[in-house]
Amino acid sequence: MKNLLAITLGTRDIQIRLSALNNGNWLHEAINVKHTKIEDLQLPGYMPPGFNDTFCFSQPRIAGKLMVQNYQTIIPTLHFPLLQPVVDFLLNKKIAIDNILLLCTNQEEGFNAGLVKPKDFQNDTLYFAEIVSRYLQEYLLLPKLQVEIYRVTREVTNMDYLYTHFAREGSHFFSIDPEEIDKIYLLPQGGIDHINQAFTLKLIQHFGEKVMQLQQAEGVEPKQLNFPRLFLNDLYRQRRLQHLHDFEFGLLAESIPKGYKELAVAKKLANWANLKLHLNFKELKPALQGLEHKIEPAFLQWLYEESIDTPMERLKALWVMCHIQYLQGNISDLIWRLFTIAENLFKVMLEQLLGWPDTKDYYKSIAKGATNTKWEEFLGEENRKILQSEGVYIDNPNRYTYKTLFFYHYTQNMTESSDEYGNYLQVAEAIELMARLRNQLAHKMRPVDLEDINNVLSELNIKLLELLEIIKKLLSIKNNQFTIIIQHRIYPFLNK
């Protein structure tokens, strides 16, 4: 991953340090610094108010050209009061800079056509860019190819032109694949405000949150600004809130870039919820790594507890996803989840009723009629008899096995007719009815919609939502289940 540095150059980006002129070859006059042995090397400029050791150039074009021609002579006297601290700041943070873009102006064409004022023409920074380029290549040991000079040649205050210009004029910088880039450090302080703004916007648009804007005032430490990320966060806030509202945790997590500290917790929580909704229990605990000290211990503890992989937790998570898909009107994806609930509901209920462990490993892919000794032994004589008396195979666990055993044991322990029993019966019947849907999907290939499901369920006088509510009750799913809790936890991050 590359780190890029982009700098817009201004007229004060290169200065002479007057104390460095004391080798006898230089003469500083009020508005000039000149070399005593090189006749033409006269640099017009001024000492900015409040600075005793600094000489700025009043005509960067002329001064810059002379400095390019006499680079080795002048370089020991130069300093870069904005660039140098920024480059050192990055180096101190162990950030290796791979590519540099120097943005400068060259309004020669407009000047020759009489469209650019002489003063503006003289303020062009094209030669400053050459000096800075050469200096940074040497300072950072960068190959020449990795430092690009980008010249704005006209319309320097036209925001529309500038905004499009950067991407259209074939800059190598903009052709670097964003996927290859870790961060782009931007120092847009030099020169013309419009160039700075347009360039900043273009970078934000092109590279998003990877843009790290730096601010450097002369004589103080560089400061990293947050507004590009704040701005993008504001822009994306509504969409992210919508994802959150719709329980689209996957999309929400994806919409938050890696390394975005302010939303890192929100990203992790969204990712965790997404994994759980997709029953990817193996990944749940690893997904919580890095949340220590960022959320309160009790909440972290709750997340770990919710990450425990049990058949009941899976069934609950399946139900939650079904319910979300119902709310989203995503019936085609809801169906296979509902089938999976149907296939597993009585298994889980039976395991819970009889205190059995998860019996999934007793399933063996064997031909019917073959013996699954482990399963038969596990069932025990009583259960085998119950199943056989009902004509249910005992070779492998299946939904008939679980349903039969569940109802037998449940009614054995039931003292009087209860609503719960009625619910179980209704769900059992609904499951059989729902099975038709899968085949309808498979064989008729008709897209199944809510109406189809409700039509099938009309035999039981219930609708899909009621069925989901019954299952919810049977599974003891709280209203405040994990997606709601995560939703509430993420909301404040997004709405900051």
Whichever of 35 and 472 has its CB closer to other proteins, that residue is: 472
Whichever of 146 and 340 has its CB closer to other proteins, that residue is: 340
What lies within 8 Å, CB to CB, of 404 at 6+ separation is 386, 387, 390, 392
As a whole number of angstroms, the distance between CA 329 and CA 327 comes to 5
Interaction between residue 312 and other proteins (CB under 8 A): no
As a whole number of angstroms, the distance between CA 45 and CA 343 comes to 84
Binding string, 328-347, against other proteins, x = CB under 8 A?
A: ----xx--x--xx--xx---
Whichever of 139 and 231 has its CB closer to other proteins, that residue is: 231
Q: From the CB of 327, what's the least distance to other proteins, in Å?
A: 15
Bridge-based pairing state of the strands 211-215 and 42-46: unpaired
- Of the listed pieces 91-99, 229-237, 415-423, 482-490, which binds other proteins according to CB under 8 A? 229-237
Residue bearing tokens 């205190």? 355
Bridge-based pairing state of the strands 15-17 and 99-105: unpaired
C-alpha distances in angstroms, 109 versus 46, 68, 227? Answer: 28, 21, 36
Quick one: which of 71, 52, 96 has its CA closest to 14?
71
- Of the listed pieces 16-24, 288-296, 431-439, 486-494, which binds other proteins according to CB under 8 A? 431-439
Contact by Cβ (8 Å): 96, 87: no
Q: From the CB of 159, what's the least distance to other proteins, in Å?
A: 5
Binding string, 149-188, against other proteins, x = CB under 8 A?
A: --------xxxx--xx--x---------------------
Q: What is the dihedral of CA 216, 14, 111, 192, to 10 degrees?
A: 0
Q: From the CB of 417, what's the least distance to other proteins, in Å?
A: 29
Restricting to residues 351-370, which ones interact with other proteins according to CB under 8 A? 360-361, 363, 365, 367-370
Whichever of 213 and 483 has its CB closer to other proteins, that residue is: 213
Secondary structure of residue 414 in the 3-state scheme: coil
- As a 3-state breakdown, the chain gives helix, strand, coil percent values, each rounded to 5, of 60, 10, 30
As a whole number of angstroms, the distance between CA 440 and CA 428 comes to 19
Contact by Cβ (8 Å): 120, 11: no
Secondary structure of residue 42 in the 3-state scheme: strand
Interaction between residue 308 and other proteins (CB under 8 A): no
Q: From the CB of 438, what's the least distance to other proteins, in Å?
A: 8
Whichever of 91 and 235 has its CB closer to other proteins, that residue is: 235
Q: Which two tokens stand for residue 231?
A: 């701005």
Q: From the CB of 339, what's the least distance to other proteins, in Å?
A: 8
Interaction between residue 441 and other proteins (CB under 8 A): yes
Interaction between residue 310 and other proteins (CB under 8 A): no
DSSP 457: H
Whichever of 79 and 496 has its CB closer to other proteins, that residue is: 496
Among 241, 251, 291, 485, binds other proteins (CB under 8 A): 251
Secondary structure of residue 418 in the 3-state scheme: coil
Q: From the CB of 375, what's the least distance to other proteins, in Å?
A: 12
As a whole number of angstroms, the distance between CA 277 and CA 482 comes to 10
Q: Which residues bind other proteins (CB under 8 A)?
A: 117, 119, 157-160, 163-164, 167, 193, 196-198, 200-201, 205, 208, 213, 215, 217, 225-227, 230-232, 234-236, 239, 251, 254-255, 278-282, 314-315, 318, 332-333, 336, 339-340, 343-344, 360-361, 363, 365, 367-370, 397, 432, 435-436, 439-447
